[in-house]
Amino acid sequence: MDAAATRQRATELGRYGAYISLNEQAESGELVAVKDNVDVLGMVTTAGGRHLPETPAAADAPIIAAVKSTGAQVIGKTNMHEYAFGVTTGNVHHGTARNPHDLERVPGGSSGGSAVAVSLQLCDWAIGTDTGGSTRIPAGLCGVVGLKPTTGLLSIEGIFPLAETLDAPGPMARDVRTAARALESLSGLSGFDPGQPGDWQPDLAVPLGWEEGLDEPTQRVWDAVSDGLPRIEFPGWKALEDAFQPILFAEASSYHLEWLREQPELYSEDVRNTLNLGFKVSGAGYLWGMRQREPMREAVTRALGSYDAVMIPNTTIVAPLIGEPHVREKLLRYTRPFNLTGHPVITMPAPTPGLPVGVQLVGRIGEDAALLRVAAALEARWGVGTEPAVLG
């Protein structure tokens, strides 16, 4: 991509709130947008908040160093929900990010700016982080591909954490093949290219109890893409969520403890209130959640059986209006469980003429390449992943 033209277009489309800062030194080539909780040498990391010093990072995060080693360049730092603790990217400090398909709707979060940048072609691909769906939710609402790799595949060093044992960085792109190439860049590994799917059709199933509470447009699309797939026994999303919650809140609040005591006024009200919920988690509750991880991980792996992947809705609703209340659970219900178990999950857009509807494909731990092959086969069948967003 042409770096100067991309910076100019990003400025012209500033109303969408994709970027917090642009890299004026970036030259033309493969341009990568980076969520602003990831350190990039010479650029300030805000993590979407106001507590961090306004000092350029002294070194690249390892995943950024890996990307740069391929010749790619960082075009800018993308907008995000404050400290990655929210699902709308309605950031009071750095501006509200808006959905490219409808300016009055949220792009999702917390990696909302990365999804917007990809959707508007303001980068070749982008980096998000995912602690409970923060890459997959905005990918689904903005009509792009978002990958949460197997937890631990990519380093979290140099990334401002939300909950360190749940955090997973990952790529966002307009199509599966670009996401696979991005994962190779981020990891420094090869073998993720899904190749040409040909006539191969993956063997998919839908977990029982994981397709409830969908709004009308999501239900319509879901019925079409899941028609004919077998419904299988699977660990319940609520049981997985119950173990996830104490881990998330305890780890997040502990990291912010001193700032909450000494500089609470620098937080937005919604993030401060959410962080304060962590102080209601007991030590016993946190340890209980941690002890559930391995048996639940094994239960999900067993339930996958011989299927190539299971398919579930990404969110229960299409992109809500900015300011619409009570959307958190509707956006997070089906994404959070796999941050607990660590399984790789890719969100991709389903075919629809209306607002984007994403679906998740869940694969086996450590078999990210196989999951990308499944996604590429579905993408070829559905004919999605080729058109840019229609500006709202």
In this structure, is the dihedral angle defined by the CA atoms of residues 52, 25, 168 and 310, taken in order, positive or negative?
positive
Which pLDDT value is given to residue 198? 83
d(CA 236, CA 95): 37
* 77 in active site: no
Which residues, at least 6 apart from 222, have a Cβ–Cβ distance to it below 8 Å? 211, 214, 313, 350, 357, 359
Q: Over the stretch 8-54, which tens digit does the pLDDT of each residue have?
A: 999 999 999 999 999 999 999 999 999 999 999 999 999 999 999 99
Q: What is the maximum alpha-carbon separation in the chain?
A: 60
* φ, ψ dihedrals at 27, nearest 5°: -105, 170
Kindly report, residue by residue over 313-361, the tens digit of the pLDDT: 999 999 999 999 999 999 999 999 999 999 999 999 999 999 999 999 9
The C-alpha angle with vertex 214 and arms to 329 and 326, in degrees rounded to 5, equals 30
Q: Which of 43, 292, 84 is nearest to 168 (CA)?
A: 84
Q: Please report the pLDDT score of residue 160 as a whole number.
A: 98
- Band of pLDDT at residue 385, cut at 50, 70 and 90: low
In the CATH scheme, what is the code of domain 3-233+306-382?
3.90.1300.10
pLDDT, tens digit (0-9, with 9 covering 90-100), for 164-181:
999 999 999 999 999 999
pLDDT of 391 above 60? no
Question: Which residue in 111, 114, 119, 134 is the catalytic one?
Answer: 134
d(C-alpha 284, C-alpha 290), whole Å: 10
For this structure, is 282 an active site residue?
Answer: no
pLDDT in tens, 226-239: 999 999 999 999 99
* Average pLDDT along the chain: 97
Task: Assess whether pLDDT exceeds 80 at residue 56.
Answer: yes
Q: How confident is the model at residue 197 (pLDDT cuts 50, 70, 90)?
A: confident
- Counting Cα atoms < 13 Å in the Cβ hemisphere of 141 gives 40
Whether 330 is catalytic is: no
User: pLDDT at position 388, please?
Assistant: 52
93, 268 Cβ separation under 8 angstroms: yes
